[in-house]
Amino acid sequence: MIQEEFPSGGDRFPPTRRSVIEAVRSIDAEERESALEALCAAYWRPVYKYIRLRWNRAPDAAQDLTQGFFVELLERELLDKFDAKKSRLRTYLRLCVDSFVMNEDKAGRRQKRGGNIPHVALDFSAAEEELGATVIDPTKIASPESLEEFFEKEWVRGLFTLAVEELRELCIARERERTFHLFEAYDLQGNEKISYEQLSNEYGIPLTDVTNALAWARREFRKIALERLRELCGSEEEFHREARVAFGWDAK
């Protein structure tokens, strides 16, 4: 086996979790709920922002629609109709959102849906702030290509945000909080001028420690992000395609 011939230089890649597409169709209610949580955690932000921009809804209405969409996703088993060979999951979900909003408009429903999706914290005010921080040209948002692009970017942002949070929890669990701070300072804050030397001086640690810490953090972040992504894909081919998009490999 190649793994035996070429032993990994570091941590082994964790076992793959079951895809949410499969899990959401499970006969086990707990598994279904867990899958929906994962789906919601990954997609609620892009869905909310999409509804705000594409359908031009006020924040309150967009919140209702976002929550309503995920409830409908589960109740009407919309993912049963998803075919990984024909489209990407996120494209399918986006089109489902469009249908859902149009149907809600037709039905004239305005009732507030009760409660959040279980165990997923939907911080709509934070999402609203992020929307404000994002520079969007309203004249360009209307075209299908730009909508797809916008949804894609927000989906990547959501995926990476979840991965960063999971990395933070991992660092806390392993008592590597400083590692996370270094990662946050260098890779997350978008400061072009920061250097390894500056961090070394700031934290009073050798340069090699900064290098090693960042290498470890990036490695773990990548692993977590890919694992999360794999859960959200319906097939290996889709996973490869979506990984290329999420990590921008085709653009480089």
Q: By CB under 8 A, name the binding residues for another protein.
A: 1-3, 6-13, 123, 126, 129-130, 133-134, 153, 156-157, 160-162, 164-165, 184, 186-190, 212, 214-215, 218-219, 221-223, 225-226, 240-241, 243-244, 247-250, 252
In angstroms, give the least distance from the CB of 124 to another protein. Answer: 13
- 99 vs 208 by CB, closer to another protein: 208
Burial of 62 (0-12, 13-18, 19+ CB in 10 A): buried
Minimal distance, residue 155 CB to another protein, in Å = 11
| Least Å from the CB of residue 38 to another protein | 16
Q: Which of 34, 235, 248 is nearest to 159 (CA)?
A: 248
The C-alpha torsion from 243 through 236 and 151 to 32, rounded to 10°, is -130
Q: What is the CA radius of gyration of the chain?
A: 20
Q: How far is the CB of 25 from another protein (least distance, A)?
A: 21
Q: Which is nearer to another protein, 13 or 109 (CB)?
A: 13
- Nearer Cβ to another protein (66/72): 66
Identity at 225, one-letter amino acid code: A
Give the residue with the Cβ less far from another protein, 136 or 142: 136
The distance of closest approach from Cβ of residue 165 to another protein in the complex, given in angstroms and rounded to an integer, is 5
Q: Specify the residue, 35 or 214, whose C-beta has the smaller distance to another protein.
A: 214
